[in-house]
Amino acid sequence: MSLYGARVEYALHTLVNLSRVPDGVLPSARDLADFQKLPVAFTRKILSQLERAGIVAGTEGAGGGWRLGRHASEITVLDVVDATQESQPLFECREVRARCALWDDGEPPGPAVTGVCSIHAVMLGAEAAMRGELSKHTLADIGATVARKSSRDALRTTAAWFTERTTQRRSTS
Amino acid sequence: MSLYGARVEYALHTLVNLSRVPDGVLPSARDLADFQKLPVAFTRKILSQLERAGIVAGTEGAGGGWRLGRHASEITVLDVVDATQESQPLFECREVRARCALWDDGEPPGPAVTGVCSIHAVMLGAEAAMRGELSKHTLADIGATVARKSSRDALRTTAAWFTERTTQRRSTS
DNA sequence: GAGCACGTACTCGGATAGGTGTTGTCCGAGTGATGCCGG
DNA sequence: CCGGCATCACTCGGACAACACCTATCCGAGTACGTGCTC
């Protein structure tokens, strides 16, 4: 299994899309899910988690919806990862070193068990490197990369799709 | 859940212990498991995986056992991780970008789907950083760190424990 | 025409399946060393 | 004294159960907006 599953992937895609929505337009969870063909109920759950972390802000009631909680350039991938999967360690130390046949007779081993387990320390270093890399990239960066790859037309169409969706909602009600 | 579970932890502890065994002594899987109070059958499975990767070498039959396949300074933590959990990606891209409501009418989007997904690219970078960190540490490094922390006595006792265990085996049979 | 009740369209949170990976165990089969027993 | 045979201890590999987590869905409850009805 991978450390970061569909939750993170859905969250990031949803956020990148959300960062492309024009100001004043509030897409609903259904809008955001439909745009990328994600399961609606699951997307709602993810948005709730992101709201708890302040990454998005939701307004309730009819005509309500979601917008980014702060500017896309101030939301890192690490923020999103931490928000969706709270405290997912790369490695969970079980303190195996404490269970050694040598000191079976009850006496605690002394300095061998103090501090961080040497194996754990390596893993913590790797985790720090990974998180450091994730914190270097923001939603704005990813958005820019996508924009560079796709046609100017596609970007405009995306914005138009969301505006149409939300206004359509309001008119039919 | 963490990316690296008990499997990796058990493997590393077992290998560090194995690196401390005097030359010519062949601890059995039971010896290695008992020393750290790990489940025996599971330890056997892990040793099999490590053997397939050439990290340890096992000799069958009575009086058989395990030894390192190469010197401890040539076995990195990354080697062990890859051996025990084959190809565990940090993140598995589901190509969400291909499922977009914009091009619902069958036309493929063109350049937006070629190359690596921007989100995926960030994750790949993080994974590379993590693996790079893991490849910097060898079993010998970890062994040295442990040795620096524990008393000289403890090290000698460890070696003695394994020698006694194996000779005891042979004498009782 | 003003005020109030209702319906609608959202969000929020918990409860709950289904699937999948991991942990851990068990068992049969193969292998090599040792010891016994008959020649 | 020597060779064959049984036994033992060990590894190897697959099958299997228990468990936890992730994905996904569903439902009840709360909230805001608009509409229509009543006075």
**A89, A54 in Cβ contact below 8 A?**
no
CA distance A27 to chain B (A): 14
pLDDT attached to residue A49: 94
pLDDT attached to residue B173: 40
Over residues B35-48, mean pLDDT: 95
pLDDT attached to residue A110: 65
CA distance A42 to chain B (A): 15
A60 touches strand D (CB under 7 A): yes
pLDDT attached to residue B112: 66
pLDDT attached to residue A106: 65
What's the pTM? Answer: 0.90
pLDDT attached to residue B99: 87
Is residue B172 predicted with pLDDT exceeding 80? no
Over residues A41-46, mean pLDDT: 95
pLDDT tens-digit map of A105-138: 666 666 667 778 999 999 999 999 999 999 999 9
- What residues pair up with A9 in beta bridges, in sequence order? none
Over residues A83-96, mean pLDDT: 88
**Three-class HEC string of chain A:** CCCECHHHHHHHHHHHHHCCCCCCCCCCHHHHHHHHCCCHHHHHHHHHHHHHCCCEEEECCCCCEEEECCCHHHCEHHHHHHHHCCCCCCECCCCHHHCCHHHCCCCCCCHHHCCCCHHHHHHHHHHHHHHHHHHCCEHHHHHHHHHHHCCHHHHHHHHHHHHHHHHHHHHHC
Is residue B156 predicted with pLDDT exceeding 60? yes
pLDDT attached to residue A16: 95
A66 touches strand D (CB under 7 A): no
pLDDT tens-digit map of A14-26: 999 999 999 889 9
pLDDT attached to residue B134: 97
Nearest alpha-carbon partner for A47 in A37, A62, A59? A59
Query: Which one-letter DSSP state was computed for residue B102?
Result: G
Over residues A13-42, mean pLDDT: 93
What's the Å distance between residue A56 CA and nucleotide D36 C1'? 35
Whole-number Å distance between alpha carbons of A48 and A10: 13
Query: How high does pLDDT run on average in chain A?
Result: 89
Interface probe, candidates A103, A133, A138, chain B, greatest B C-beta count within 10 A: A133
Q: A151 and chain B: CB distance < 8 Å anywhere?
A: yes
Whole-number Å distance between alpha carbons of B78 and A82: 25
Query: How high does pLDDT run on average in chain B?
Result: 89
CB atoms A119 and B154 under 8 Å:
no
Interface probe, candidates A10, A92, A130, A146, chain B, greatest B C-beta count within 10 A: A130
Is residue A104 predicted with pLDDT exceeding 90? no
Over residues A34-41, mean pLDDT: 94
pLDDT attached to residue A28: 93
pLDDT attached to residue B171: 55
pLDDT attached to residue A173: 41
pLDDT tens-digit map of B16-29: 999 999 988 999 99
Covered bases, chain C (protein CB within 7 Å): 7-14, 20-27, 30-35
Over residues B116-130, mean pLDDT: 95
Q: What are phi and psi of B32, to 5 degrees?
A: -65, -40
